[in-house]
Amino acid sequence: MTGPRLSALVVARNEEARLAECLATLHFADEMVVVLDRSTDASAAIAAGLGARVIEGAWPLEGERRNTGLAACTGDWVLEVDADERVPDALAAELRSVIGTSRYAWHEIPLDNYIGERLVRYGWGGSFGTSAVPRLSRRGVKRWGNERVHPSLSWTGEKGPRLANAFIHYVDRDISDMLRRLDRYSSARAADLLAQGEIGTLGGNLRRFVSRFLKCLIARKGYREGGWGVLIALCAGLYPLLAHLKARLEPERHRQDARG
């Protein structure tokens, strides 16, 4: 392909069931880089068989493994894709167009979030989901922070307009999968809180539960999704509260996670 080179980066752990389908939608990129964190399944063989450059290792912090992937990419631009996401043809075409014309350093990409086969457009937020992600950036302008879940971001350069086309994101298989994700996220957040030495207060996190629930259900229009919107709002509110309670009531268990 002519013009700026695009690297597609996938960071995953034991994603053999979803990785091949994800990589198959990245054919438009000039290179594919797959970072595998402590994977014990067939992910490495799958990625290599589809032409990706595979980097294997152990990175307890999400930010560390994502930064490792960014540093390994050689393209002028980097597109970060998770194993549960797909790039439809319309988005692929837009990405090639944007990197050829953009004067900006980075862009957000919308998400079409699916729970099972249902597209859920409204209500996402509160660190439990989002409707857009900052995943297209020039090489060298982005750095992830050192957290286990939802790491912070630092940027060099100006943000550009959000793209028009969306990732397809299979965020949860069903309600049970959503609740398991809530458990994983809150445990990782508890480890981050203990590592930072500040777990907050019960009262403060109870207030956050109410404010996040209402923000997702009302301000982010989760009510338009019926019961699904209620579930998302509940999980968004519970996420910081559960993280606080795990850090407060089970500190040794989660402090061990914080050590690595």
135/60 Cα distance (integer angstroms): 21
Residue type, 168: I
Residue type, 224: R
Q: Summarize pLDDT for 173-214 with one digit per residue, the tens.
A: 999 999 999 999 999 999 999 989 999 999 999 999 999 999
Q: Summarize pLDDT for 26-77 with one digit per residue, the tens.
A: 999 999 999 999 999 999 999 999 999 999 999 989 999 999 999 999 999 9
Q: How many CB atoms lie within 10 A of CB 39?
A: 21
Question: Coil, helix or strand for 259?
Answer: helix
* CATH architecture entry for 6-172: Alpha-Beta Complex (3.90)
Q: Summarize pLDDT for 212-236 with one digit per residue, the tens.
A: 999 999 999 999 999 999 999 999 9
User: Strand runs (DSSP E) across the chain, as ranges?
Assistant: 6-12, 31-37, 53-57, 77-81, 85-86, 106-115, 118-119, 132-138, 142-144, 153-155, 167-172
77/98 Cα distance (integer angstroms): 10
Which part of the chain is CATH 3.90.550.10? Answer: 6-172
